[in-house]
Amino acid sequence: MNLKGRSFLTLKDFTPEEIEYLVDLAGQLKARKKKGVTGSSLKGKNVALIFEKPSTRTRCAFTIGCVDEGGHPEYLGKDDIQLGHKESVEDTARVLGRMFDGIEFRGFKHETVEKLAEYSGVPVWNGLTDDYHPTQILADMLTMKEHFGYLKGLNFVYLGDGRNNMANSLMIGCAKVGINFTIIAPKELWPKDELVELCNGYAGESGSSIEITDSTDGVKGADVLYTDVWCSMGEEDKAAERIALLSDYQINKELMDKTGKDTTIFMHCLPAVKGKEVTEEVFESPASVVFDEAENRMHTIKAVMVATLGE
Is 250 among the annotated ligand-binding positions?
Answer: no
Say what the alpha-carbon torsion angle 246, 247, 250, 255 is, to the nearest 10 degrees: -110
DSSP secondary structure code for residue 130 in this structure: S
Positive or negative CA dihedral for 250, 251, 253, 256? positive
Is 269 among the annotated ligand-binding positions?
Answer: yes
Please name the residues in contact with 89: beta carbons below 8 A apart, sequence gap of 6 or more: 83, 112, 115, 116, 119
Residue type, 157: V
Is 106 among the annotated ligand-binding positions?
Answer: yes
Is 247 among the annotated ligand-binding positions?
Answer: no
Is 232 among the annotated ligand-binding positions?
Answer: yes
Is 82 among the annotated ligand-binding positions?
Answer: yes
Is 248 among the annotated ligand-binding positions?
Answer: no
Decide: 132 and 156 in contact? Cβ < 8 Å.
no
DSSP secondary structure code for residue 219 in this structure: G
DSSP-based three-state secondary structure for 213: strand
Is 134 among the annotated ligand-binding positions?
Answer: yes
Is 58 among the annotated ligand-binding positions?
Answer: yes
Is 174 among the annotated ligand-binding positions?
Answer: no
Q: Which residues are part of the catalytic machinery?
A: 106, 133, 136, 228, 269, 297
Is 136 among the annotated ligand-binding positions?
Answer: yes
Decide: 156 and 136 in contact? Cβ < 8 Å.
no
Is 94 among the annotated ligand-binding positions?
Answer: no
Q: How many CB atoms lie within 10 A of CB 223?
A: 19
- Euclidean distance between CA atoms 188 and 184, whole angstroms: 11
Written as one string, the DSSP assignment of 155-208 is EEEEES-TTSHHHHHHHHHHHHHT-EEEEE--GGGPPPHHHHHHHHHHHHHHT-
Spacing of C-alpha 38 from chain mean position:
24
Is 143 among the annotated ligand-binding positions?
Answer: no
Please name the residues in contact with 42: beta carbons below 8 A apart, sequence gap of 6 or more: 66, 69, 70, 71, 305, 306, 309, 310, 311
Give the residue ranges of the annotated binding site: 55-58, 82, 106, 133-136, 165, 228, 232-233, 269-270, 297
Residues comprising the binding site for carbamoyl phosphate? 55-58, 82, 106, 133-136, 269-270, 297
Residue positions in the annotated binding site for L-ornithine? 165, 228, 232-233
